Each structure stands twice: as C-alpha cells, then as structure tokens.
Chains A and B, each alone.
Chain A
Amino acid sequence: MKYIRQGIFITLIVLLGAFLRFNKLDKIPGGFYVDEAAIGYNAYSFLLTGKDEYSKAFPIFLRSFGAFSSPLYTYLTTVPIAILGPTIFSTRLLSALCGTLSILVIFLIFKRINLFRNKYTSYLSVLLYAISPWSIFFSRGAYEANMALLFVISAIYFLLDKKRRLFSFCLAAIFLSLSTYAYQAERLIVYILYPGYLFFFVVERKLKKMFDKKIIISLFIFFAIQIPQLVLLQSPAFRNRAVGLFYGDVIKIQADKIVSVIPRQITYGLAFAKEFFSQFFAYFSPRNLFLDGDPDMQRGIPLLSVFYPWMMFPYLL
C-alpha cells in the first residue's frame, strides 16, 4: 500500500512536470533561437549525410559559427528528427524529456539520501522542482545544459548507492563521462566532482584498499569514454569554451586597482578571492533565486528567476 501511494504521488508530479514541459512545445517559447536552429540543422545534416554544416564527419566539437559546442545533444536529436521530421518540436523534444526525467531522478536521490524526516517533504521538494520556472524554461528550449544536468544527477544517484555495487560505479562513470560531451561546463564540474567523490570514498575506507577493483574499473570506463575529448585537449576547439574561465581579464583589471604596496601575485589572489566569493554568495542571494531573472535575456524569463517569489518565505524559515 505504501509503495502504491508513493507511486501515485510521484507519477502525478512527473505528469504535471511533463505537461508543463511538453505542452505547446513548438510554440512556447516563441520563435526559434539561433542556437536551437543550429542544433536542429546539424542533427538533420547528420541524419542525411553523417556530416555537419562544415562537411565534417561526426565531429567531437560542433564548430557551428565558431561556438565549438558539445555534440551529444545534437547527435541524439537525430532520433526525434528521423521520426518526426525537422521541426521545432523535434529539436526541443530531448530537452523536455531530460527535464521531465530529472524530476524522477531528483526524487530517487531524495529517497536514497533519506534527507527529510517527514516523508512528504521529498514529494514537496520534487514538486517545487517540477514547477520551478528555471527548470521549465530550460526544458522548453533546446538547451544542452539540461541534458548534461540529467546525466550529472543520474551519476550522483548511482554514486550514492550505499551498497557501493560495481554496476553503480560503472553507470556513474558512464553518465559523468558522457555529461562532458553534453555541455562544456561539465568538462570542469565532472573533473572536480568525480575525483572528490573517489577521494572521500578512499578516505572512508581508511586507505586499506586504495586500488579498489571498483575504482579501477570505473576509472577505466570514465577515461575510455573521455579519449576522443582528451585527444583534442590542446586544440583551439577544446579551449574555445574555456575562455573567460576563472574570470580572465576581469581579475587583471581588478588587481590593477590595488595599490602597489602589495606584491603583484598577491593582488591577483585577492582580486580572484573577492570575485569568486562575490559570485558564489550572489548565487544564494534571495534576489537572485527568487526575483531577478538572468541578465542574459536569452536565458531567462523577465521577472522570473530560479524559483517563484513566494518561495522565499519557506527559504528564509
């Protein structure tokens, strides 16, 4: 009875999430943004010729007017385009699907970590995610970031396996490695998250089994999938999306403002510290989470942020 009730609750939430993500997907948001069009066009091109718009066969990075974006979303979009034809709906379909699946994965994570004392809190949390304007917005456009997010949270789900089974390690490695092909930010995040997890795993076992079979096999799988990307590590295509990482020129400008009594290297460190912490805390600011949308008009809805303004009250409590 308990499982039936649990199943009904989560099914209803996922259905609501799916409705909010799939309803009039080809019409809302209006128009077809250039990045979405590039994905759709390249996917159609792969389907017909096996080559992208620059006649490059199965590239690791899509050149796409100098963007050199991650290719996984485009490759997978060939499937809906093959079935439904080259339409706005088929280009956005995968993102909406990933957004809907992520509701389920987040619920599974909550169940696994057993975070909340009240059993209904996990349903409420998933419901809030399902109706979050941020999640809905990114699920309704062809955004690769949404797919990468699904892969990362899926990997987290498997990494949280209490029994630490081999297949959980392997699946986590696969998802994490694939996520780096889905969106450029994951190329950095995964290389912090995965070693971090393995480090704590080894520490937890008090270094008795440093070369654990599970770690070795999962690392092998992870790096095997990474080979195409690692081969291109030094290429301009790989580094293209890393421009601006660690704030680039901003740090130099800020460091130049500091009076010269402090050694140059330290001024860079101070400027970086201030920039990093200001960005870090700005993210958790209620103004950012509940009121101001993304300053980039392409990536947000005016006057709607990650959550609805009324959600601030439970957040502060």
Chain B
Amino acid sequence: MDKLFTGKFLFTGLVFAGLALYPFIGSSYGLDLVSKIMIYAILAMSLELLVGSTGLVCFGQAAFFGIGAYIAVLFSPESESANLLWLLPASILAAAVYALFVGALSLRTKGVYFIMVTLAFAQMAYYVVHDTKLGGGTDGIYLYFKPILGSVLDLNNPKTLYFFTWVFLVWTFVFLAMLLRSHFGRVLAGIRINEQRMRASGFSTYPYKLAAFTTSGGIAGLAGFLFAVKDGFVNPEMMSWHLSGALLIMIILGGLGHLRGAIIGAFAFVFLQEFFKSSAIFGEFAKHWQLGLGFTIIACVALLPKGLVGLPEVLRKRLDGSRPRDAQVVLK
C-alpha cells in the first residue's frame, strides 16, 4: 500500500501541482491551451475506464462529450448566466442517461460489434445536431453568458475557469483511482481479463459493465460541459468520430491500463498536434500536420508498446542492460 504513494502517485501529484502553478506564469494563449488539454484529459480518463480498465473499446465517447456540451449551451438562458449548481449536474446527467441507453443495447454485443454499435449510436447523436435546427445545425450555437455560482464563481474569467477545470481534473483522477481499487473496480478488472470466470464466480457482469459505461458517459458529459463553457461555443464536430478516434489514440499513446496514461496521452497528443501545426517550425508543410502526427504516433506505439507510461522502464532497461532487470522482474 505504501508503494502507492511513491512513484506513480508522486509523479501525478507533481503534474497536478505544476498545473496549479501554471496560471501564474503562463500567457493567456497558454492558459487556454492547457485548459483544453485538461478537459481532454478528463475525457480521456473517462474512456480509459472503459477501454483500459474494463476492456470495452468504445468508439463513441464523443457523443457523451457533445451532449454534455450542448446541454450546457441549450439550457443556458439567452440573456443572463445560468446557475452552475443545476446546469453542471444537468449536463452530466443528460450524458449519463444517453450512455445508459447506448450501453444497455450495445453491451449485448462484443468485440468489433461493440465498437461498431457504439460508433453508430454516436453518429446518431451527431446527425441529430448536424441536420436539425435543435442545436443550430452545422453552424453550432454560441453561449453568450457563461454559468456562474452567485458571486463566488464567475466562469467568464479565464483564470477562474482554469482552476475550475483543474479541480475537476484532480477530482476525476482521485475518484477513478479510488473506484478502480474498490469492489467495483476489481470486478471491472476481472471482466477485462476473463469475463467467463467472473460469471462462474457469481458476478452478473452485465450490470457492472452498464454501470461502468454510464459512469464513463457522465464524466465525458462533465468534460463536454467544461469545453462548452471554455469556448463559449458548440458545434457538431464535438460529436464527430474524429474526436472518438483521437481519444483512443490518446489513451493508447499514454499507456492503456493506467489512469495517468490518459492524462499523459492527452498532453502528448495535443502538444504533438500543436507542434506539427506550427508554421513557424514547418512553414508550408504545417498544413500537412496530420502526416507528421501520424508517423510520430506510429513510431511511439512501435517503440513503446506500453505507451509513454512505460518509457521509464524502457529507458532503465537500456541503461542497465536488459538481462539482470528481467530476472528481477520474474522473481518479483
């Protein structure tokens, strides 16, 4: 148990501390960028709960994110700020309810079929906002007045929003970390490795998976809420499969099976994206940023099968020479 508080938790704690200090040195552009990454990190952690922890590859996470975002905008009054106290829970709840519905049906399938069914449900949500007047169609809608909490919290202020997001990033990490070591989380881990054995031991696995799916959807809704409030704008692209795909890449890049992998992956992905998009570095070639990003990701996955989380281990092996290390691992 003591080991928990050394190593990986120390690392995550330092990252959180660094993020808390960042607004005191960062530019307003930097503040916006890091806010965005923190929101993606929350979203990536919600997907990690399904993919890395339960073994359910969901290819429709963007839908829950988008629903959280659209609810935040649609439920805000046009000429004044909404109260945070009910708007935030409304976003989370709406996303969780859709996740409950999608999960209830899609969890009857497995493997590739599950991936495709979750994608189909996400595309359904996408086309509802894309092709109807409900959410402003392809143009999206603006959120003119960001939600407030009396005079305590005004999310119109970027710094307040930054810290607000930071609190939820830490909260999501702590909540999921505790969830994963609880009874519930251990069952999810068991389901990931061998669902048949879990059933034979006496676990009805379907309700467990559905609860995980709904929880994940709710957290994605929270991220969507934060994103809508940060940008003051929502559009259908937030629900597109490109985002669902990018999220999968984030958690794979960071390292599946580790919560901190989702956070690291979100940072790495957005930084790489910004890097390859930068015309200051790449000039004309910057418009082909996806090519560079793609090759880098392929290289990362090839060289780091456990993701960026596994980087220290790979480096240590390189430095020590691999043989003695391997022997130690086996003995442990």
Asked whether A and B interact, the reply is no
Q: Chain A interface (Cβ within 8 Å of chain B)?
A: none
Q: Chain B interface (Cβ within 8 Å of chain A)?
A: none
